[in-house]
Structure 1
């Protein structure tokens, strides 16, 4: 019997793909990451080649898809509870980073020019249900 593979998901970063791969392998599903080494070598080509592809055998695709759907795609707080939108009370909230002002731009520029990790990153949250953007001030 010839093995046929199906691409279930694509990831921009190797770490994301490895986490999902570990989950599926713990459920007994063999997983193959296509283009992982290429993207680990040069992360800037990730979007150009379509990211890291998570492939499974066709006969495992339905079970693997069900497991992927069970994995939480939305943000949680430090206690592991889902974040809730203050506008519509939906838990479909995702975190994103951005450069909004000079306070975040200057460290980004410094880290970009010196090839170091960002010193300051600003986090905001976006509700996919109502479109509200908000942040969590922890003063």
Structure 2
């Protein structure tokens, strides 16, 4: 059975709602914004529709309210140790050499396309070839 969504906060400003939604999501809480589009398009309608509503599932209400309370009192600390901040490892490009003359003065022809084999040319002997995988 699906859990019911509960409104835990309302905002007149869409930006503030998105910031706090992002913070709750960073803490692992599934949340949604209600009426965000109507307030985004017509900000003066915010009061008429009751503002932007930050909603969480019933099971996360207490934890989400506690996080919002910590943020409002300014004592909220995010656990950056739980996030992997290491940059992705990039493969080193292998050095290309011309199969004709052995020179490393080579370049790629055209625009590289991931689904096509690459074509190279040697600037010393003008030999052109396709990459073999």
TM interval, short-chain normalised: 0.5 to 0.7
Q: Name the CA distance, whole Å, in 2 between partners of 1:9 and 1:72.
A: 12
Which secondary structure state, in structure 1, belongs to the residue aligned with residue 72 of structure 2? coil
Deviations, residues 47-94 of structure 1 (Å, cap 9, x unaligned): 0110000000000101001000001357xxxxxxxxxxxxxxxxxxxx
Match of 1:51 in 2: 51
Deviations, residues 112-132 of structure 1 (Å, cap 9, x unaligned): xxxxxxxxxxxxxxxxxxxxx
Any gaps of 5 or more consecutive residues in structure 2? 75-133
Q: Determine which structure has more spread, i.e. the larger CA radius of gyration.
A: 2
Q: Name the CA distance, whole Å, in 2 between partners of 1:39 and 1:16.
A: 12
Q: Name the CA distance, whole Å, in 2 between partners of 1:49 and 1:18.
A: 17
Shift of 1:10: 0.2
Match of 2:111 in 1: none
Match of 2:29 in 1: 29
Q: Name the CA distance, whole Å, in 2 between partners of 1:2 and 1:31.
A: 14
Q: Name the CA distance, whole Å, in 1 between partners of 2:73 and 2:13.
A: 15
TM-score (norm 1): 0.51
Deviations, residues 7-61 of structure 1 (Å, cap 9, x unaligned): 0000001100011001100000011000001110100100011000000000010
Q: Name the CA distance, whole Å, in 2 between partners of 1:2 and 1:67.
A: 24
TM-score (norm 2): 0.53
Q: Name the CA distance, whole Å, in 1 between partners of 2:33 and 2:68.
A: 15
